[in-house]
Amino acid sequence: MSLPTAPAPSLEVSGLAYAYPDGHQALFGVDLTVARGERVALLGPNGAGKTTLVLHLNGILDAGAGTVRVAGLPVEKKNLAEIRRRVGIVFQDPDDQLFMPTVREDVAFGPAAAGLRGPELERRVTTALERVGMAEYAARPPHHLSFGQRRRVAVATVLAMEPEILVLDEPSSNLDPASRRELADILRSLDVTVLMVTHDLPYALELCPRAVVLSDGVIAADDRTQDLLCDEALMREHRLELPFGFDPRSVSVPRP
């Protein structure tokens, strides 16, 4: 009797290199594997290549060399529709994702564009809004919401597609402390793989047991988030600075 096959990792990046048309080389051979259900922080200084890497995950950019696989599926032209369903990207500015007259219509837009109609579409919208605590705002215009509420709706627009991987670009930026905590509670409750691009190192420690540092287009470190943040030499070398007075050693975090 054959043993069941282990599921493919949510994300497999192997030897990924990319140069922009102007000749600027942004990635020099990135190797990164993220298992299903992991929450991983992607850290690094400005210009390290983080955005370039993210744009390869759903085929916005084509690899110059190397490969990207999502749940075992190669990121290539014939698979793009399925890849973009599986990889949901939440941008730093929620207004980049909210453009319809009401919250409900914004959350319905992606599934409707994919062909969903009727009760299934309504289920997707309702479920996504409930997961981010915004169901009571379904009929409101997005521009009438606070920034934190708009960010939660932006997350809902992605969740409505039922992705396997949620990619978050600076999710805590411009949030007040209460909104920051509310979003953290939401992210912890989601049964998806999370890749969080952030400069907010305490938020990375709070939410992501594992972190990787991307620097000069390569992975410079990959470790438990707490261990990485406690490595003062590594932090200095890659221009990562903790907030004044914050000591990661003083934070009790569960081992992954």
Q: What pLDDT is attached to residue 7?
A: 80
Distance from C-alpha of 97 to C-alpha of 107, rounded to nearest angstrom: 10
Q: What's the chain look like in SS3?
A: CCCCCCCCCCEEEEEEEEECCCCCEEEEEEEEEECCCCEEEEECCCCCCHHHHHHHHCCCCCCCEEEEEECCEECCHHHHHHHHHHEEEECCCHHHCCCCCCHHHHHHHHHHHCCCCHHHHHHHHHHHHHHCCCHHHCCCCHHHCCHHHHHHHHHHHHHCCCCCEEEEECCCCCCCHHHHHHHHHHHHHCCCEEEEECCCHHHHHHHCCEEEEEECCEEEEEEEHHHHHCCHHHHHHCCCCCCCCCCHHHCCCCCC
Q: What is the predicted pLDDT for the residue at 233?
A: 95
Structure pTM?
A: 0.92
- 138-195 pLDDT per residue, tens: 999 999 999 999 999 999 999 999 999 999 999 999 999 999 999 999 999 999 999 9
Does residue 103 register a pLDDT over 70?
yes
The one-letter amino acid at 148 = G
211-228 mean pLDDT: 96
- Please check whether residue 168 is in contact with residue 93, taking contact to mean a CB–CB distance below 8 angstroms: no
Where are the domains positioned within the chain?
11-243
- State the pLDDT at residue 8: 87
pLDDT score of 47 more than 90: no
Mean pLDDT of 81-110: 94
Average pLDDT of the chain, as a whole number = 93
Domain 11-243 has CATH 3.30.70.890: no
